[in-house]
Amino acid sequence: MRVFLETERLVLRQFTEDDVDLLVELDGDPDVMHFVTGGRPTPRDEIETEVLPAFLDYYERSDGYGFWAAIEKSSGRFLGWFHFRPAQDAPPNEVELGYRLHKAAWGNGYATEGSRALIDKGFAEHGVERSPSALPPRCQRQFRGRRRDRPRSRAAMRARRPRRTGRPPRRPSNPPIPAAPRSRVARASRSDRASRLSDPAARRDAIGASEPRRRS
C-alpha cells in the first residue's frame, strides 16, 4: 500500500486488488449513485473486471495521477475515493478532479480537504494550470487564487496594462432635450385672440379695455 498524500484528517493511498469489497459497498448505496447511475448499484463483477483494473492501471502509467482511496486517519475507515487525472482531449496541464464519498462522510468538509491537497500537489509537482472539473465552492475560490498568484510574463503584463494617452477621455455629449409640445388649449386661445385683433372694432374694444378710465 502506497500513500500518495496526507492531510490533517485524511490519508490518500493507492488502491490494491484487495479493495473490491470496499468499492462494492460504496457503489451499492443508491444515494451515492443517484447522480451517477440514477441510484443503480455497480455490479460486483464489473468492479472486479473493469473498475478496479482501471484504477490500478493509472499507477503504471503515471506517478502523480490516478484514483486514490480516502482513509480517515482517526478511525481507519474507508470514506471513498478521489481522482486526479489529465482531462480528456485537453492539454497536459489541464486536469480533472473528482470524488465519490460514503454518505456518512458528507457534510464534514472531507471533499474540500482532499481536493485542496490534490490541487496544491498538482501545482507544486505536476505543473497544473487549469482544472475544468466541478470543484467544491471553497476549492474553486482557492484555485482561482492560485492561478492569480502565478507569475506572468512581461508580454502578458503589458497586454493587460491600460494604454495612456495625452488626451483626456472624451465625454459623451448630452442629447438635446426635446421641446414640450404645446397643448391644444394654448393653440386655440392664441388663434382666437389673433382673430379678434384682426377685427378693427374688436381691436378698439381691447385697447379701450386695457387703458385706465379717466376721471371726468
Flag whether 180 is in a domain. Answer: no
Q: Which range is least confidently modeled, 105-109, 151-155, 166-170?
A: 151-155
Amino acid identity for residue 67 in this structure: F
Question: What is the total residue count of the chain?
Answer: 216
- Of residues 81 and 189, more confidence is placed in 81
pLDDT at 150: 43
Query: Between the ranges 54-63, 76-85, 135-144, 150-159, where is the mean pLDDT highest?
Result: 76-85
Flag whether 157 is in a domain. Answer: no
First to last CA, the chain: 131
CA proximity to 97, closest of 75, 130, 126: 130
pLDDT classification of 170: cutoffs 50, 70, 90: low
Count how many domains the chain has. 1
pLDDT classification of 163: cutoffs 50, 70, 90: very low
pLDDT at 15: 97
Q: Which range is least confidently modeled, 10-14, 84-88, 102-106, 193-197?
A: 193-197
Q: Do 25 and 33 touch, CB atoms closer than 8 A?
A: no
Flag whether 161 is in a domain. Answer: no
Percent of the chain with pLDDT strictly greater than 70: 56
- Domain of residue 59: give its range: 3-151
Flag whether 162 is in a domain. Answer: no
Flag whether 211 is in a domain. Answer: no
Q: How far apart are CA 103 and CA 77, in angstroms?
A: 13
Structure letter (DSSP) for residue 182: P
Flag whether 198 is in a domain. Answer: no
Amino acid identity for residue 56 in this structure: L
pLDDT classification of 146: cutoffs 50, 70, 90: very low
Three-state DSSP at 114 gives: helix
Cell of 29: 448505496
Amino acid identity for residue 179 in this structure: A
Query: Between the ranges 119-123, 130-134, 136-140, 180-184, where is the mean pLDDT highest?
Result: 119-123
Flag whether 208 is in a domain. Answer: no
pLDDT digits (tens, 9 = 90+) for 67-89: 999 999 999 999 999 998 877 77
Cell of 65: 495521477
| CATH code, domain carrying 65 | 3.40.630.30
pLDDT at 202: 57
Q: Which range is least confidently modeled, 17-31, 64-78, 145-159, 173-187?
A: 145-159
Helix or strand (DSSP H, E) at 168: none
Flag whether 171 is in a domain. Answer: no
- Of residues 151 and 166, more confidence is placed in 166
